[in-house]
Amino acid sequence: GAVVSQHPSRVICKSGTSVKIECRSLDFQATTMFWYRQFPKQSLMLMATSNEGSKATYEQGVEKDKFLINHASLTLSTLTVTSAHPEDSSFYICSARGPQGAGYGYTFGSGTRLTVV
Amino acid sequence: QQQVKQSPQSLIVQKGGISIINCAYENTAFDYFPWYQQFPGKGPALLIAIRPDVSEKKEGRFTISFNKSAKQFSLHIMDSQPGDSATYFCAASVWGAGSYQLTFGKGTKLSVIP
């Protein structure tokens, strides 16, 4: 089945530094990748949608300059949290969707727990 | 505007019992309805999904029932086990080609007690 690898699973960084999270589709080409943020005991909140080779589309209220998304290839998307602050601490999850014609749905990574101290 | 409403928020079921979670959607363009299971500290994992051309889909102990006219779908977990204790999310999307996003319900925390 479709597998999405996300790493790191946990990261602790100092306030003001940047953190990069990687999301890879291992056995399929991801036409679209999604980045979510999840607060404790809440549902997933979509941050942005990205297609390979084009700029990401950010949801309303998500700062483009703080959450940089790069979708350089059909198997890799990265989320960089720039100048991180404690309020950016959260659980970040990526999702990838393969070609609809091949029956691919949405596959999620295992998530990254970001703690900013 | 919440487009997918999920209930109940939490559910406690005895081992061996049936767990039922309900969702209702508003957007008639939705034609893909997955259910995800999420354990603490992990990403959501696809449990089962249905398209509107069928009214029911069963995979092992998990069954989706779909009512297109009522715009409702539900997850039934038969013979619930303690290992099923997790948070369950329903979702909906447009299946066709394009960057369609999933719209999630708010989740149901299921606890299966021995």
- Give the residue on A whose Cα is nearest the Cα of B5: A43
Question: pLDDT-derived band of residue A30, with 50, 70 and 90 as boundaries?
Answer: confident
Rounded CA gap, B36 and B32, in Å?
Answer: 13
pLDDT per residue, tens digit, chain B (114 aa), is 568 999 999 999 999 999 999 999 999 999 999 999 999 999 999 999 999 999 999 999 999 999 999 999 999 999 999 999 999 999 999 887 677 889 999 999 999 999
Q: Which of B91, B76, B74, B75 is nearest to B30 (CA)?
A: B91
Q: How many CB pairs under 8 A join A and B?
A: 52
Alpha helix segments (H runs only) across chain A: none
Digit-coded pLDDT (tens) for A58-89: 999 999 999 999 988 889 999 999 999 999 99
Q: Which of A46, A5, A52, A8 is nearest to A30 (CA)?
A: A52
Q: What's the distance, Cα to Cα, between the start and end of chain A in Å?
A: 37
Would you call A93 and B107 a contact, using CB atoms and an 8 Å cutoff?
no
Most distant pair of Cα atoms in chain B: their distance: 45
HSE-up of residue B42 (Cα within 13 Å, Cβ side):
12
User: What residues in A contact B36, CB-CB < 8 Å?
Assistant: 108
Which residues in A have their CB inside 8 Å of a CB on B?
4, 6, 31-32, 34, 41-44, 46, 49, 51, 57, 91, 93, 95, 100-101, 105-111, 113
User: What residues in A contact B99, CB-CB < 8 Å?
Assistant: 31-32, 49, 51, 57
